[in-house]
Amino acid sequence: MALIVQKYGGSSVADAEKIKNVARRVAESATAHQLVVVVSAMGKTTDGLVGLASRITPTPEPREMDMLLATGEQVTIALLAMALHTLGLKARSLTGPQVGLRTDRAHTKARITRITPERARAALEAGEIVIVAGFQGLSDADELTTLGRGGSDLTAVALAAALKADVCEIYTDVDGVYTADPNIVPDARKLPRVAYDEMLEMASLGAKVLQARSVEFAKKYGVAVHVRSTFKRDPGTLVTREESGMEEVVVTGITHDRSQAKISLLRVPDRPGIAAQVFGAVATKNVVVDMIVQNISRDGFTDISFTVPRGDHVRAQTALEEIGRTVGAEKVVHDERVAKVSIVGVGMRSHSGVAARMFAALSKEGINIQMISTSEIAVSCVIEDKYAELAVRSLHDTFELGREP
């Protein structure tokens, strides 16, 4: 009998009725398959918990943050198990620690170190449906950890790899991966297939339909991922290895990310070792830096700007203010009203002039580009946040990604 790992996201389990709906879908699949079902916290529960913490302190201890965040998923596993019991099915809920998901000690963004899914295997052998709390694990210090926002996707993919499942199905509120966020671009097109690298880039650049690390994991272990709708039956998007023909399209998708903040260190002395000191200080606070721009130096001074996740900017700024004083910088300023828009496609490897077309499209809308970064298969621009949606729509048109008439 095939083994399937299914994952249902927050909006799919947002209330009691929706949990019953998921139970019915699970019951249908259970007639012909062994099933592991990973669930997220209900609706916007995790956002609510983050907000609650921020009303207590702007800098909660990451360990306590994980204690708080891990509660969300635990509610859903119990309720879904109950819903399956009422349908006469055997089901057992397991937390991240119970399913043997072990992580490092990086609270709130822990990485999976190993999975020992013996309990899940035994339950499957006993004919039970295994319901797993996504997003959480246990560190080697025996502490609860969480895997970063959107981390239930990673739990699902990692369990699929560990259990050698036939497929990992990600059920969500859209019926697949689109050429752009379908909630912003009405004529976005569903992609029947997308290559791991492309999906990884889209996810890293803001297409939150899959968590980036889950795609990385899927690629590494060759897990077949199928993104599809909780509410509709149509086939969704298969995330798989690159196939010939995929490169014929230059740009596959447009993404945007409004979760970053820009920090600038003004009038820093321009001499060897300064960048190492500045970014070393940020790294010790466990903050991941994304784009970096350093200006041309004038009279021995320069400005350095970079982007960080919005939730980390207070910590980054504190670190920078200290180091800024040490190295003799004038001041540190931050700007949360920025967004990153990107074009992604494996076809870019073999086409030139793609970036120029992107810049021209933004300029036509009167949108100023503050930062640029490129990779082999993506170009990203940081722009003012208020133009994010306009930029995405205009790029979607420019690269002719809309539905065929």
Residues lying near ligand ASP in the complex (CB under 6 A) are found at: 9-10, 40-41, 46, 72, 134-135, 149-153
293-304 burial, b if ≥16 CB within 10 A, otherwise e?
Answer: bbeeeeeebbbb
Q: How far is the CB of 44 from ligand ADP (least distance, A)?
A: 9
Nearer to ligand ASP, 41 or 254 (CB): 41
134 binds, among ligand ASP, Mg ion, ligand ADP, none (CB under 5 to 8 A by kind): ligand ASP
151 binds Mg ion (CB under 5 A): no
Q: How far is the CB of 170 from Mg ion (least distance, A)?
A: 8
Q: How far is the CB of 9 from ligand ASP (least distance, A)?
A: 6
Per DSSP, the residues of 83-113 read HHHHTT--EEEE-TTTTTEEE-S-TTS--EE
Rounded-to-integer distance, Cα 279 and Cα 281, Å:
5
Q: How far is the CB of 23 from ligand ASP (least distance, A)?
A: 19
Nearer to ligand ADP, 140 or 400 (CB): 400
| Residue tagged 């809308």 (tokens) | 365
Nearer to ligand ASP, 50 or 372 (CB): 50
**The one-letter amino acid at 191:** L
Burial class (CB in 10 A: 0-12, 13-18, 19+), 400: exposed
147 binds ligand ADP (CB under 6 A): no
Q: Are 69 and 40 in contact (CB under 8 A)?
A: no
Pairing of strands 292-294, 301-309: antiparallel
Q: Where are the beta strands (DSSP E) in 67-190?
A: 91-94, 101-103, 112-115, 129-133, 136-139, 144-146, 167-172
Q: How far is the CB of 295 from ligand ADP (least distance, A)?
A: 33
Nearer to Mg ion, 178 or 279 (CB): 178
Nearer to ligand ASP, 39 or 377 (CB): 39
Query: Of residues 83, 112, 138, 177, which one binds ligand ADP by CB under 6 A?
Result: 177
What is the enclosing helix (H) or strand (E) of 265? strand 260-269
Binding residues for ligand ADP (CB under 6 A): 9-12, 40, 150, 172-174, 177-178, 180-183, 207-209, 253
